């Protein structure tokens, strides 16, 4: 019998035939698919025809059907519905896939043909999208080191290997430090802590074989402990241990690893012809240059610091009213901010939940997409990988657009968090292919299932990513949907979150599970007010980290990163009671791998854009302004990576994003 992962899928909308796939099919299917893809690459690399756009770039763009089918199904079930067998397969597949794809980038014959096409680009008469795909393909090879030869090539391989090792060591040291520290608590020490913190501390003690409760450095325990414990001495001890992760001296100290990592990154960038690592990293981002990143962060820094300084005064007064004199310290901030939040924004989560029924919120998500983009959703009865999954056929004016799958409930077999992925991406080459898009969340089951406010935001967020995939309208798959710069990819998702806050949406869909009454206006205002609470603190700790990350990579690598960090913070005038959200020895975003190195700014970059983009709707006449919706689809949701993101944004907004809407949204404007 043939392997169902490799055969052509004769199913509605060619959705994977989940009910006929067994776990034993994955390994042999992957081997055959990789062989098929390797053969495809070989044919392109070793062709005797003269290199041109069609036989090199388009040939690379031609999807390997077998490989896409196997990977699409496997990664869907491995993330959302795993089991021991699938975990074992994943461990075996990861290095296999990494080797397969890095062999393609390192293929010298293939690179020679890509370069030959790149060198002819001015005389090839390519469409704008073709020029972009050619540029991105060529750039991908060059950035991967394909153009290096001889000693430089050897050195690059050494650097890559060493950086991978350093990243792993950094992570392991951090985990070791987080696991080894604990503080035992007496029954007396528990006074004033809420029940959930006490039971978490008892559970942690039991797990460590202690007689009584303990505080550990697990974020879910230390953060509420710092927020709720009235014992200043205990808060100080716990805070100092938390802040010293990765810098304790001894074998798990990360400071030397950070220094060596920065040196090697700089050398790597220079080998590739860049002035420094930030220039190399930002080349592919919307921000483009370190100056653009710094400019944006500094625009936010001033108002955020001003707000934090004001808040520090309020918190200091609260502390003094408790009979404690002297300065507010970092271990005091969360405690007094928590007290202040309770006084100013007492939000009852339990009273809010009945207004946020999952099914009604899904209706809200679809209704907004209908009003904005004319999309319609019809339930689809097809076998999927788990009975909790639901599917819809998405159409517009009767024409098929996509299949959308929602897998909303938490279960043991699903990894944590929420995400959007495409089991098939939109493309028109070599033939039209409609996307199959899936949203995976971890909401609690119930009858009816009820969401927290954060859950509801997650629902809208992931659907924003789904819209970016479903409305994609490009020719080539490599630039389809969410295949865009990292500092651009969260724009559609974070932007869509704004529609949850539109009063008429809540009025219609946030109805009480028992009474059917819409959410009271007063409750909505409390929710929104609580979401903005302590934004001075949160913005300061984040922006300081982002600026240190940038300073590390924009210029010669510092031989002593800790000294550099201190220098940056001193220049900024960091408030004394706030520390970096992630200090260097435990800044995993930057040192556990390359992902967010000189890229930690991108969370705020996206937030600036989503606030600014939603303001465009408000300025035009409301959240459902038809012209704006049309522009959003034309310039952002349909275009994937086919155009430079700064150009796309400018086409939508008439200018580049400004920080005003973000400052207003975070409550950081002068009052």
Using CB under 5 A, list all residues that contact Zn ion.
493
Q: Which residues contact 458 (CB under 8 A, 6 or more apart)?
A: 418, 441
Instruction: Give every CB contact of residue 605 below 8 A, 6+ residues apart in sequence.
Output: 286, 287, 293, 296, 487
CB-nearer residue toward Zn ion: 107 or 493: 493
Q: Indicate the helix (H) or strand (E) that contains 650.
A: helix 645-653
Closest to Zn ion by CB, 316 vs 482, is 482
Give the residue with the Cβ less far from Zn ion, 534 or 610.
610
Nearest to 86 by CA among 77, 98, 96: 77
182-184 and 214-216 beta bridge pairing? antiparallel
Pairwise CA distance, residues 632 & 498, whole Å? 14
What's CA 639's distance to the chain center, in Å?
Answer: 20
Two structure tokens written together for 28:
């042999």
Closest Cα to residue 357, out of 457, 451, 454, 497?
451
Q: For residues 475 and 493, which CB has a smaller minimum distance to Zn ion in the complex? A: 493
Least distance from Zn ion to the Cβ atom of residue 489, Å: 7
Per DSSP, 599 falls in state T
Cα–Cα distance list, 640 to 195, 465, 482 (Å) = 48, 11, 6
Residue 166: CB minimum distance to Zn ion, A: 28
Choose between 166 and 365: whose C-beta lies nearer to Zn ion: 365
DSSP string, 116-178: HHHHTGGGS---HHHHHHHHHHHHHHHHTTTT--HHHHHHHHHHHHHHHHHHHHHHHHHHHHH
Tell me the backbone φ, ψ of residue 23, rounded to 5 degrees: -60, -25
Nearer to Zn ion, 246 or 599 (CB): 599
User: How crowded is the C-beta side of 431, counted as CA atoms within 13 Å?
Assistant: 2
**Catalytic pick among 61, 285, 462, 477:** 462
Closest among 471, 460, 534, 537 to 495, alpha carbons compared: 460
Residue nearest to Zn ion (CB): 493
Instruction: Report the nearest approach of Zn ion to the CB of residue 630 (Å).
Output: 24
DSSP code for 636: I
Contacts of 233 (CB under 8 A, 6+ apart): none
- Helix intervals (H) in 374-520: 453-470, 486-489, 491-497, 503-509
Any bridge partners for residue 427, and if so which?
A: 433
To Zn ion, the closest distance from the beta carbon of 443 in angstroms equals 16
Cα–Cα dist 660/477, whole Å = 36
- Smallest separation, CB 616 to Zn ion (Å): 20
In angstroms, give the least distance from the CB of 420 to Zn ion. 7
Based on CB atoms, which residue is closest to Zn ion, 426 or 493? 493
* Minimum gap (Å) between residue 460 Cβ and Zn ion: 11
Name the residue among 454, 484, 487 with its Cα closest to residue 469: 484
DSSP 72-104: HHHHHHHHHS--HHHHHHHHHHHHHHHHHHHHH
Q: Which is nearer to Zn ion, 493 or 584 (CB)?
A: 493
Q: Which is nearer to Zn ion, 205 or 464 (CB)?
A: 464
In the complex, the smallest distance separating the C-beta of residue 612 from Zn ion, rounded to whole angstroms, is 18
Residues facing 290 on adjacent strands: none
Output the smallest distance, CB 532 to Zn ion, in A. Answer: 20
| 462 given a catalytic annotation | yes
Give the residue numbers marked as catalytic: 462
């Amino acid at each position: 019998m043939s392997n169902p992962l490799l055969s052509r899928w004769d199913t509605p909308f060619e959705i994977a035939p989940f009910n006929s796939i067994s776990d034993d099919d994955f390994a042999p299917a992957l081997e055959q698919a990789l062989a098929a893809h390797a053969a495809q690459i070989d044919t392109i690399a070793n062709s005797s025809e003269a290199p041109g756009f069609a036989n090199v770039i388009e040939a690379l763009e031609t999807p390997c059907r077998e490989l896409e089918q196997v990977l699409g199904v496997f990664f869907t079930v491995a993330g959302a519905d795993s089991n021991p067998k699938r975990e074992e397969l994943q461990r075996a597949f990861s290095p296999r896939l990494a080797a397969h794809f890095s062999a393609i980038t390192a293929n010298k014959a293939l690179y020679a043909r890509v370069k030959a096409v790149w060198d002819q680009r001015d005389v090839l008469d390519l469409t704008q999208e073709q020029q972009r795909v050619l540029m991105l393909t060529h750039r991908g090879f060059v950035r991967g080191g394909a153009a290096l030869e001889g000693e430089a090539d050897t050195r690059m391989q050494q650097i890559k290997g060493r950086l991978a090792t350093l990243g792993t060591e950094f992570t392991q040291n951090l985990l070791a430090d987080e696991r080894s520290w604990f503080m035992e608590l007496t029954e007396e020490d528990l006074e004033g802590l809420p029940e959930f913190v006490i039971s978490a501390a008892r559970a942690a003690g039991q797990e460590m074989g202690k007689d009584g409760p303990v505080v550990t450095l697990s974020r879910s325990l230390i953060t509420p402990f710092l927020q709720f414990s009235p014992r200043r001495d205990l808060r100080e001890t716990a805070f100092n241990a938390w802040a010293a992760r990765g810098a304790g001296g001894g074998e798990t100290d990360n400071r030397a690893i950070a220094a060596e990592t920065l040196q090697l990154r700089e050398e790597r960038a220079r080998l590739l012809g860049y002035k420094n690592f930030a220039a190399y990293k930002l080349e592919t981002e919307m921000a483009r240059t370190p100056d653009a990143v710094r400019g944006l962060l500094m625009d936010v820094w001033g108002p955020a610091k001003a707000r934090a300084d004001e808040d520090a005064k309020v918190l200091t007064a609260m502390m003094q009213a408790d009979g404690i004199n002297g300065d507010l310290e970092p271990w005091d901030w969360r405690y007094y901010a928590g007290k202040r939040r309770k006084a100013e924004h007492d939000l009852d989560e339990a009273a809010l939940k009945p207004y946020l029924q999952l099914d009604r919120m899904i209706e809200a998500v679809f209704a907004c997409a209908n009003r904005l983009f004319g999309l319609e959703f019809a339930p689809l009865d097809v076998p999927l990988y788990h009975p909790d999954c639901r599917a819809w056929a998405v159409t517009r004016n009767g024409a098929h657009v996509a299949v959308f799958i929602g897998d909303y409930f938490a279960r043991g077999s699903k990894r944590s968090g929420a995400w959007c992925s495409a089991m098939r991406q939109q493309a028109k080459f070599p033939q039209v292919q409609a996307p199959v898009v899936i949203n995976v969340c971890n909401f609690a089951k119930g009858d009816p299932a009820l969401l927290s406010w954060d859950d509801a935001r997650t629902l809208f967020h992931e659907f924003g990513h789904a819209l970016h995939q479903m409305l994609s309208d490009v020719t080539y798959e490599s630039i389809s949907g969410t295949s865009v710069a990292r500092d651009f990819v969260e724009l559609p998702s974070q932007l869509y979150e704004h529609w949850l806050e539109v009063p008429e949406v809540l009025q219609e869909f946030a109805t009480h599970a028992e009474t059917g009454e819409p959410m009271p206006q007063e409750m909505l205002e409390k929710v929104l007010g609580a979401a903005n609470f302590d934004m001075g603190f949160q913005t300061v700790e984040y922006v300081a980290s982002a600026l240190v990350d940038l300073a590390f990579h924009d210029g010669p690598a510092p031989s002593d990163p800790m000294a550099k960090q201190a220098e940056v913070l001193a220049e900024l005038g960091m408030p004394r009671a706030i520390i970096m959200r992630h200090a260097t020895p435990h800044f995993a975003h930057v040192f556990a791998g390359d992902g967010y190195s000189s890229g930690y700014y991108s969370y705020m970059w996206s937030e600036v854009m989503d606030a600014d983009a939603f303001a465009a709707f408000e300025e035009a006449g409301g959240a459902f302004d038809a012209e704006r919706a049309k522009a959003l689809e034309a310039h952002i949701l349909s275009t994937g990576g086919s155009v430079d993101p700064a150009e796309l944004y400018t086409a939508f907004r008439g200018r580049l994003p400004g920080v005003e809407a973000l400052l207003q949204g975070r409550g950081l404007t002068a009052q």
